[in-house]
Amino acid sequence: MKQTTIKSSVEIKGIGLHTGKESRIIISPAPADTGIVFNFADKDSLKVNVDSMIISTNRGTILAHNGYSIYTVEHILSALNGLEIDNAEIMLEGEEIPSCDGSAKAFVEKLKDAGIEILGKARNIIQLPEPIWIFNGDKGIFALPSDRLSIYYAIEFPWIGKQWIFYEHSPSRYEQEIAPARTFGFEEEIEMLMTEGLAKGGSFLNSIIVGRNGYSSPLRYPDEFVRHKLLDLMGDIYLLGRRINATIFVVKGGHNLHVELVKRIKEVINDR
Ligand SMILES: [Zn+2]
């Protein structure tokens, strides 16, 4: 399989979920072996890989470098990983990737509008040399070597209950079954985040609010919550800087656990 990029540049504007500020990104084609690179309007750039500083929180994944921070990188990275785009440059104006509708749908649509270009160089997909697991109380993540990417994900939350999914990756399945699943938050948690100065851009338009009386909008899938968790994992795992083949099991996961797995994978492949 050859590496890919997009055929032309695309622009996406919107409000950041946490900062509440308007921002704009322009995603452009990049040559083979570039990976995914963020460029700032004043020319500083940041290559996406686990060596850039990653700050994971329960509410999102932040990349930091040279005094710059980029909030909420996981959904755009998820779209790029899901569509198997190996190389792209993302020019960011602002501090946070636009949240759009809280899913990766808008990114997928724009990237597909741009078209996918096949480059002349072979892909270098990460193959796990051995299983890796991380357990933290009743939460856990477990990755096994495989010749393809598949993910089992299970969650349990108040007012949602248990949801689980098995996903065998392909770009068309990603586009149809995962990309449209939206971010969610809980009523009380959102009030708390807002007092901490987060979720400033959070609204019914870019997330599902879950509370005692149900959900703030009709669901796109009955199990939309676990699909969104899987969407986040597809983004966080792309912090490896290239695609991976593995069978990954996650129980009650989140950005912290995803990023811990990414760091452990990086250690294991660097050791060889
Ligand atoms: Zn998310």
- Measure 36 CA to ligand 1 centroid, in angstroms: 19
Across residues 78-90, what is the average pLDDT?
Answer: 96
Task: Tell me the pLDDT tens digit for each residue of 118-169.
Answer: 999 999 999 999 999 999 999 999 999 999 999 999 999 999 999 999 999 9
More confident residue, 42 or 26: 26
- CB of 250 closer than 8 Å to CB of 257: yes
Least confident range from 33-47, 68-82, 195-209, 216-230: namely 195-209
Model confidence band, residue 204 (pLDDT cutoffs 50, 70, 90): low
Ligand 1 centroid to Cα of residue 22, in Å, is 18
Q: Give dist(CA 14, CA 135) in Å, integer.
A: 37
pLDDT of 201 > 70? The answer is no
CA of residue 256 to ligand 1 center, whole Å:
12
Report pLDDT digits (tens) over 174-189. 999 999 999 998 888 7
pTM of the model: 0.92
Distance 183 CA to ligand 1 centre (A): 5
- The DSSP H or E segment spanning 201 is none
Using one digit for the tens of pLDDT, what is the confidence trace for 211-262?
888 898 999 999 999 999 999 999 999 999 899 999 999 999 999 899 999 9
Determine the pLDDT at residue 45: 65
Higher pLDDT, 204 or 243: 243
CB 99 within 8 Å of CB 183: yes
pLDDT of residue 200: 65
Based on the residue annotation, tell me whether 18 is a catalytic residue of this protein: no
**180 CA to middle of ligand 1, Å?**
11
Please give the distance, rounded to the nearest whole angstrom, from the Cα atom of residue 169 to the centre of ligand 1: 18
- For residue 4, name the pLDDT band (cuts at 50, 70, 90): very high
Q: How many helices (H) and strands (E) does the chain have?
A: 6, 19
pLDDT of residue 185: 86
pLDDT at 95: 77
User: What average pLDDT is seen over the chain?
Assistant: 89
∠ CA(170), CA(17), CA(172), 5° rounding? 10
Domains of the chain listed by start with CATH number: 2-122 (3.30.230.20), 126-270 (3.30.1700.10)
Average pLDDT over residues 41-61: 64
pLDDT above 70 for 203 = no
Among 164, 197, 202, which residue's Cα sits nearest to residue 182? 202
What letter represents residue 20's amino acid?
A: G
Q: Which helix (H) or strand (E) is 100 found in, with range?
A: none
Q: State mean pLDDT over 183-198.
A: 78
Give distance in angstroms: CA of 271 to centre of ligand 1.
31
93 confidence band (pLDDT: 50, 70, 90): confident
The single residue of 75, 169, 228, 255 carrying the catalytic annotation is 255
